[in-house]
Amino acid sequence: MAARVTAACKSVVDFLQNTHTNALCKAKKPVAMVALVLNVFLPGVGTFIACVTCEKAMDGLICLAMMWLMCFVFLVGWVWSIVHGVQLLMRSMS
């Protein structure tokens, strides 16, 4: 039974990592700044907007849903949203 729980946890973590990576696009700097601010106050909304501008709307929508779900259940989504906004901004500057 412990092996099943471990496998289930690993698959959830893998899904979250893939979702995060897929939704991390290279947006223009102003879009990335707006995305960061929006992610602080409305977790995931900035990520979704950045993904739409980069034509990755479906990846952004999945990421948005995951951030909101985790924000309501664990409050982890809010932190994840802020980290993702910072990464979007850093990627836009490179």
pLDDT of residue 88: 92
- pLDDT category of residue 1 using cuts at 50, 70 and 90: low
Mean pLDDT value of segment 66-90: 85
Mean pLDDT value of segment 75-84: 86
Mean pLDDT value of segment 7-24: 82
Q: What pTM, to 2 d.p., does this model score?
A: 0.78
Helices (H), the chain: 2-22, 29-41, 45-53, 57-73, 76-93
Specify the range with the lowest mean pLDDT, choosing from 4-13, 27-36, 43-52: 4-13
Calpha distance 46→7 (Å, rounded)? 32
Domain extents for the chain? Answer: 2-93
Classify each residue of 21-41 as buried b or exposed e, where b means 16 or more C-beta atoms within 10 Å of its C-beta. eebbbebeeebbbbbbebbee
